[in-house]
Amino acid sequence: MADDMVEKVYQAIELAKTTGKLKKGINEVTKAVERGQAKLVAYASDINPPEVAMHIPLLCKERKTACYKVGTKEELGAAAGLTLGTSAVAIIVEGEAKNLLKDLIK
């Protein structure tokens, strides 16, 4: 994926963190997608073992949820305002990230 798209995903997560609502971690994100709450999902490219997150893009496709593979767990965690890395993040309430999400969900 293009770097500017990854950057937009991080920006959307950062905005939603302060003005909306996020779910963090594989289990929370999986539940959010299954319940139809997730507007956008981002998952790290360095998840180990990769099997842990293999269901995420498939589930998102099935539920017609925007899904992006981004950089490292550390970068994703930082965007979500965490001191530790996280494997996945879902935006539940977009808050001020609404316009960014429009571009990403197309």
* Cα distance between residue 105 and residue 85, in whole Å: 24
Contacts of 29 (CB under 8 A, 6+ apart): 23, 38, 41, 43, 56, 88, 89, 90
Question: What pLDDT, in 10s, does the model give residues 30-56?
Answer: 999 999 999 999 999 999 999 999 999
Token output for 67: 């899904």
Domain that holds residue 33: 3-105
How far apart CA 27 and CA 2 sit, in angstroms, is 27
20 has pLDDT over 90:
yes
Q: Report whether pLDDT(4) > 80.
A: yes
Query: 71 or 3, which is more confident?
Result: 71
Domain count, the chain: 1
pTM (2 decimals)? 0.94
Residue 2's pLDDT band (boundaries 50, 70, 90)?
confident
CATH number of residue 35's parent domain: 3.30.1330.30
**Closest listed residue to residue 53, CA positions, set 74, 28, 35, 78:** 28
